[in-house]
Structure 1
């Protein structure tokens, strides 16, 4: 079942995906931090899954992708680079691929 996004809904959907992206960046940062308890990361993962439920009709496989990210994305940027720049977006590999795919799927659903 293909769902189309109306032009006036595009900005809202993109803002929600950006919010999900920010949570994924936070989650990956917690994953890469050796000082953060696993329980903190699990709380963020739960929040991510809750936020993702808004995309169920638009991106049916998103939950599966998120669970794969939680299990398999081990990408962590350099600690030294993070200390210099504070850029948390250097972490993660798989999540960036999935986000690019999801953005593309949303773009094709506009009408």
Structure 2
């Protein structure tokens, strides 16, 4: 914009000065109007930006609160499921303990009964031995069963070693489950095929051990024989049964007429 040049002031007149003032007033008013319009538009933009910012913040806040509530719900559901599973495991372990206690009590009662019967047989044996010739006959009959007794004891000793290895495999973190199952299968087959296994009903007892004996020693344990609990009760029970069988076989041989006084 070109501003008019300042006219030379003429002598004797004031109108030229007024014209000069009006010429300056017009652009100043235009500049003031521009500043007012610019300031107003700027304030509108600022208000608009602030409103958009507040809207974005509220939207983000709502989304975060919704996600937080959903996370809390999910964690609550997960915690409830974990508590339910934990309670189930507690009940299952409690059931196992009760079953183990009942089975152990039953085995201990049977063991006591076998011990009482063994003591009775020992007393009868002493009476027969003290009777002279009859004692010699009974002694001969018992000697005739020594070979069977040694074989039966050796079988139980072998089975004990297999049970120790099986329980070690059960308690191990590195041995595969299939290897343990194969060991159990072989023991069951042998118990069915061998006469001693059928006489003592080892198959049923072994299945009970495989199902219920879950005892393992501490992780740092290096002694395999510290694993297992029910299996050791059964091993003692089987040994007592073998001892009882020896006396019963001798008694059957004696009263069946297979052993005669003075014969070997």
Q: TM-score, normalised by structure 2?
A: 0.37
- Larger relative helix fraction: 2
- The 2-side partners of 1:8 and 1:30 are apart by 33
Q: Which of 62, 65, 80 is residue 220 of structure 2 equivalent to?
A: 80
The count of residues paired between Structure 1 and Structure 2 equals 102
Runs of 4+, deviation exceeding 2 Å: 55-58
1:91 aligned to 2:231? no
Q: Could you tell me which of 172, 194, 197 is aligned with 1:56?
A: 197
Closer, same or farther in 2 for the Cα pair 1:56/1:16, shift >3 Å? closer
**Cα distance in 2 for residues equivalent to 1:93 and 1:8:** 30
Tell me how far apart the structure 2 counterparts of residues 103 and 56 of structure 1 sit (CA, whole Å): 12
Q: 1:106 to 1:30 in 2, by over 3 A?
A: same
| Structure 2 stretches lacking a partner, 5+ long | 1-143, 251-264
Q: CA deviation at 1:70?
A: 0.7
**Larger Cα Rg: Structure 1 or Structure 2?**
2
RMSD: 1.5
Give deviations 1:55-94, integer Å, cap 9, x for gaps.
234202x211110111111010122132xxxx20000000
**Unmatched segments (≥5 aa) in structure 1:** none
The structural deviation recorded for 1:49 is 0.9
Distance in 1, Cα, partners of 2:198 & 2:207: 17
CA deviations on 1:7-31 (whole Å, 9 max, x unpaired) are 2211111111111110000000000
Matches within 5 A, 1:1-111: 6-53=145-192, 54=194, 55-60=196-201, 62-82=202-222, 87-110=223-246, 111=250
1:52 is paired with a residue whose SS is: helix
